[in-house]
Structure 1
Amino acid sequence: MSKASEMSQASLSELSSRTSNRKRPNVVFIISDDHRYEAIGSNGNPVVHTPVLDTIAGEGASSCGTHIFGGLTGAVCAPSRACVNTGRSIFKSMIGSDVSVWEHSVVIRPEARLMPQTFKEEGYRTHAIGKWHNDKASFARSFEGGDKLFFYGMSDHGRVPVQDFDPEGVYPKEREYIGETFSTNLFTDAAVDFIRDYDEERPFYLYMAYTAPHDPRTAPEPYAAMYDPAAIPLPDNFLPAHPFDNGEMDVRDERLAQLPREEGEVRRHIADYYAMIAHLDAQIGRVVEALKAKGIYEDTIIVYTADHGLSVGQHGLMGKQNMYDHSVRIPFIMRGPGMPEGERIRSLSSNIDIFPTVAELCGVPVPVEVDGVSLLQQAHGAGAGRDVVCSVYRDVQRMAKDERWKLIRYYRSPVANTGTDRLQLFDLEEDPWETKDVSGDKANEPHIRRLARELENWMVENGDFMQGTPVLMT
Structure 2
Amino acid sequence: FTCQPVCGPALACLQTCRYATETGCFRNDIALPLNERTIAHDLSEAGYQTAYIGKWHLASSGKEADYRGKPVPPERRGGYRDFWLASDVLEFTSHSYDGRMFDGDMNPREFPPGRYRADVLTDWAIEYLQNRRDSRPFLLFLSFIEPHHQNDHGHYEGPVGSKQKFRNFAVPGDLEGMSGDWPQEYPDYLGCVHALDANLGRIRQALADLGIADSTLVIFTSDHGSHFRTRNAEYKRACHDGCTRIPLVIRGPGFSGGRVVRELASLIDVPPTILDAAGLPIPSRMRGRSLAPLASGAAPTGWPEEIFMQISEDHIGRALRTKRWKYEVWVPSDKRWSGCAEAASPSYREYHLYDLDRDPFEKHDLVRDPACDGVRAELRERLKKRIREAGEIEPQILPALEPG
Shorter-chain TM-score above 0.5 = yes
Please give the range of the TM-score, normalised by the shorter of the 2 chains. Answer: 0.7 to 0.9
CA distance in 1, matches of 2:238, 2:90: 19
Secondary structure of 1:460's match?
helix
Instruction: State the match for 1:143 in structure 2.
Output: 81
Matched, 1:156 2:95: yes
Match of 1:373 in 2: 289
Check the 8 A contact 2:307/2:320 in 1, yes or no: yes
Q: Does 2:333 correspond to 1:413? A: yes
On the 8 A contact 1:232/1:267 being kept in 2, the answer is no
Post-superposition offset of 1:353: 0.9
Aligned length: 366
Instruction: Name the counterpart of 1:320.
Output: 236
| 1:94 equivalent in alignment to 2:24 | yes
- Is the partner of 2:189 in helix, strand or coil? helix
Whether the 8 Å CA contact 1:240–1:316 is kept in 2: the answer is: no
- Aligned residue for 2:119? 185
The corresponding residue for 1:436 is 364
CA distance in 1, matches of 2:186, 2:392: 34
- Pair 414,470 (structure 1): closer, same or farther in 2 beyond 3 Å: farther
Q: Residue 209 of structure 1 aligns with which residue?
A: 143
Contact (CA 8 Å) 2:8, 2:57: kept in 1 or not? yes
Residues 36-435 of structure 1 correspond to what in structure 2 (within 5 A)?
Answer: 67-70=1-4, 76-94=6-24, 103=29, 106-135=30-59, 136=72, 137-139=75-77, 141-147=79-85, 149-154=86-91, 155-166=94-105, 171=106, 175-180=107-112, 181-216=115-150, 217-221=156-160, 223=162, 225-228=164-167, 231-238=168-175, 261=180, 266-312=182-228, 314-315=230-231, 318-382=234-298, 383-384=300-301, 385-394=303-312, 395-413=315-333, 422-435=350-363
Cα distance in structure 1, aligned partners of 2:353 and 2:319: 10
Residue type of the partner of 1:150? S
* Cα contact 1:239–1:313 (8 A) shared by 2: no
TM-score normalized with structure 1 length:
0.71
Q: Distance in 2 between matches of 1:462 and 1:132?
A: 24
Aligned-residue Cα RMSD (Å) equals 2.6
Q: Report the alpha carbon displacement of residue 198 of structure 1 after superposing the two structures with TM.
A: 2.1
Matched residue SS, 1:470: strand
Structure 2 unmatched runs, 5+: 60-71, 151-155, 341-347
* Structure 1 residue ranges without an equivalent (≥5): 1-66, 242-259
Cα pair distance change 1:271/1:313, threshold 3 Å: farther
Identity of aligned residues (%): 25
- Kindly state the Cα deviation for residue 305 of structure 1 after the two structures are TM-superposed: 0.5
The residue matched to 2:328 in structure 1 has which SS? strand
Q: Aligned-pair distance for 1:319?
A: 0.4
Contact 1:409 1:423 in 2 (8 A): yes
CA distance in structure 2 between the partners assigned to 1:88 and 1:360 by the alignment: 17
Report the equivalent of 2:343: none
Per-residue deviation at 1:330? 1.1
Instruction: Describe the SS at the equivalent of 1:237.
Output: coil
Whether the 8 Å CA contact 1:160–1:178 is kept in 2: the answer is: yes
Distance (whole Å) between structure 1 residues aligned to residue 370 and residue 23 of structure 2: 39
2: CA distance, partners of 1:422 / 1:204: 45
Judge conservation of contact 1:238–1:313 (CA < 8 Å) in 2: no
1:184, distance to aligned residue in structure 2 (A): 0.7
Q: Distance in 2 between matches of 1:109 and 1:471?
A: 34
CA distance in 2, matches of 1:375, 1:287: 23
Please give the TM-score of this superposition, normalised by the length of structure 2: 0.83
The verdict on how the C-alpha distance between 1:423 and 1:215 changes in structure 2, with shifts beyond 3 A counting, is closer
2:8 touches 2:58 (CA, 8 Å); kept in 1?
yes
Q: Aligned letter for 1:284?
A: L
Relative distance call for 1:279 and 1:472 in structure 2 (3 A) is same
| Matched-pair contact (CA < 8 Å) for 1:352–1:371 | yes
